[in-house]
């Protein structure tokens, strides 16, 4: 078994390749939940949904969020009624969020809610939220402290951020399921996700770092040069006090990876790193990188 630490874009691109070259029951994914948010009374868990929809074969891979060919009738109607629903939620996607919200309100753990939804969609992989309690990534801006989604979706990342803060009412603890998955794994792969908003929240859950000790850990950089392949990772790295590059990513992971993978085009040198083509522009590229990573695990 291999356990992946994932956000909602870069690592899912790698998982798209992994599901082709691995037994799907041998894949466990620990997913970031610090971007979760309640909207219009329902629970959005963007990274879990991307991973779940990918494995269910229904992800919109043009955007890497939402369900392919979804409609937006309810969203349009809600906006017309004067509700400021700042994230465009598809109709089928909303059904998932309604179901999740309902199950959570009924007292189910997010882990069990996710398992139930994955079962309904015929997902064979083990998709695990990093924790069962609420934790939120916020950013400090001139408008004050705002939810990461407010910054990235509503403001389109166009406002300056000074600091990244993770808030919670109780310190997040890795679930037993997460710790068991890591324990049963031959290797752990930190995919090319946003180090600040996707990976650090997972690594900060109590129990994760000690579970990773003694495991063979591979991390893939989401940066090429001084810019991420996509998204706001550059601004977030700077706000969190790291260089926006592969070096900053390496430092951010604080000695946890045994092997650090950089793109063949990356002009930044991280000593002892391994170089592959990590730009997963299509399924073939995802599969190519997946095979290289499996080879690293086999020859270790
Ligand atoms: P989010 O939850 O939507 O922010 O998604 P992730 O955290 O999983 O992934 C965002 C990161 O993926 C960004 O920092 C991108 O630089 C990185 N990324 C996206 N596509 C690729 C790719 O093809 N290759 C690599 N190396 N990184 C990628």
Could you say which residues of the chain have pLDDT below 50?
A: none
Residue given tokens 């599901």 in the structure block: 19
Q: What's the pLDDT score for residue 299?
A: 80
The residue contributing the CA closest to ligand 1 atom 22 is 279
**Ranges of each domain in the chain:** 2-154+165-299
pLDDT tens-digit series, residues 108-153: 999 999 999 999 999 999 999 999 999 999 999 998 999 999 999 9
Q: What's the pLDDT score for residue 300?
A: 73
CB-based contacts of 266, cutoff 8 Å, min separation 6? 221, 223, 224, 225, 246, 275
How far is the centre of ligand 1, averaged over its atoms, from the C-alpha of 200 (Å)? Answer: 14
> Which ligand 1 atom is nearest residue 65's CA?
3
| Tokens at 190, concatenated | 């930190």
Q: What is the CATH number of domain 2-154+165-299?
A: 3.40.50.10680
pLDDT tens-digit series, residues 38-74: 999 999 999 999 999 999 999 999 999 999 999 999 9
Is residue 15 a contact partner of residue 54, using CB atoms and an 8 Å limit? Answer: yes
Mean pLDDT rounded to a whole number for the chain: 97
> Which ligand 1 atom is nearest residue 47's CA?
2
What are the pocket residues of ligand 1 if the criterion is a CB atom closer than 6 Å to any ligand atom? 6-11, 13, 47, 192-194, 197-198, 220, 222, 228-231, 233, 263, 278-280
> Which ligand 1 atom is nearest residue 233's CA?
14
């Amino acid at each position: 078994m291999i356990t992946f630490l994932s956000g909602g874009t870069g690592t899912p691109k790698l998982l798209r390749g992994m599901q082709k070259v691995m037994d799907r029951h041998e894949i466990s994914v620990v997913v970031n939940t610090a971007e979760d948010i309640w909207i219009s009374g329902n629970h959005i868990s963007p990274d879990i949904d991307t991973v779940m929809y990918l494995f269910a074969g229904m992800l919109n891979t043009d955007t890497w969020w939402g369900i392919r060919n979804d409609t937006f009738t309810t969203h349009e109607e809600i906006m017309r009624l004067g509700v400021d629903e700042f994230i465009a939620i598809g109709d089928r996607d909303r059904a998932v969020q309604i179901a999740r919200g309902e199950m959570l309100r009924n007292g189910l753990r997010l882990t069990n809610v996710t398992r139930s939804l994955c079962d309904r969609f015929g997902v064979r992989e083990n998709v695990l939220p990093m924790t069962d309690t609420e934790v939120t990534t916020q950013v400090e801006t001139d408008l004050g402290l705002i939810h990461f989604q407010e910054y990235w979706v509503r403001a389109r990342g166009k406002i300056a951020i000074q600091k990244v803060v993770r808030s919670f009412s109780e310190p997040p603890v890795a679930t037993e399921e997460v710790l068991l998955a890591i324990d049963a794994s031959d290797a752990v792969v930190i995919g090319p996700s946003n180090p600040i908003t996707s990976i650090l929240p997972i690594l900060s859950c109590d129990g994760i770092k000690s579970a990773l000790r003694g495991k063979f850990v591979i991390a893939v950089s989401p940066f090429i040069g001084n810019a991420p392949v996509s998204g706001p990772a550059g601004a977030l790295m700077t706000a969190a006090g790291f260089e926006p590059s592969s070096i900053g990513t390496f430092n951010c992971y604080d000695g946890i990876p045994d092997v650090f993978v950089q793109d063949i085009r990356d002009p930044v040198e991280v000593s002892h790193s391994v170089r592959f083509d990590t730009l997963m522009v299509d399924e073939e590229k995802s599969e190519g990188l997946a095979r290289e990573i499996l080879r690293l695990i086999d020859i270790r």
